[in-house]
Amino acid sequence: MEIKIGEWCSTSSIGVQSQLGILSQLGIHIFHLRIAAGMVQSMAITEDGALFYWVSSDPHLRCQQLYSLCEKIIVSISAGKYWPATATAIGDVYMWDGKKSMDKPPFATRLHRVKGKKIP
């Protein structure tokens, strides 16, 4: 889903609005955003491909950048029940176990042999 921050903030009632406000205070200006929500983790990518995530069980919904992928340009995200996934501009796909990364930053693993494959 691609939306403008102003639209998101005006319709949000669940803590994400405050997280986006914090990003603005840090000088991170987000013009467009894509969001994927899973059972244990949710994430968002900015227009320039930066990836941010938050753990659903965190009462403060602290938003953190996933630095292990900061040199990658993320173009697509998806969040399953436990396994979030990202795709980069060059076609690499990364996934991690959301249950294992609730107390520490996720360890993203690149999936091999999927680059260039079309998924029906």
Question: Which amino acid is it at 52?
Answer: F
8 falls in which pLDDT band (50, 70, 90)? very low
3: region left, alpha or beta (phi > 0 left; psi from -120 to 50 alpha): beta
Q: Residue 6 has what pLDDT? A: 36
pLDDT higher at 73 or 14: 73
16 falls in which pLDDT band (50, 70, 90)? very low
74 falls in which pLDDT band (50, 70, 90)? confident
94 falls in which pLDDT band (50, 70, 90)? very high
To the nearest whole number, what is the mean pLDDT of the chain? 73
Helices (H) and strands (E) in the chain, counts: 2, 9
Q: Residue 5 has what pLDDT? A: 40
In this structure, are residues 18 and 62 in contact, taking their beta carbons and an 8 Å threshold? no
Q: Which helix (H) or strand (E) holds 26?
A: none
Q: Which of 14, 6, 99, 84 is nearest to 45 (CA)?
A: 84
Instruction: Judge whether residue 52 has pLDDT over 60.
Output: yes
Query: What is residue 10's DSSP assignment?
Result: H
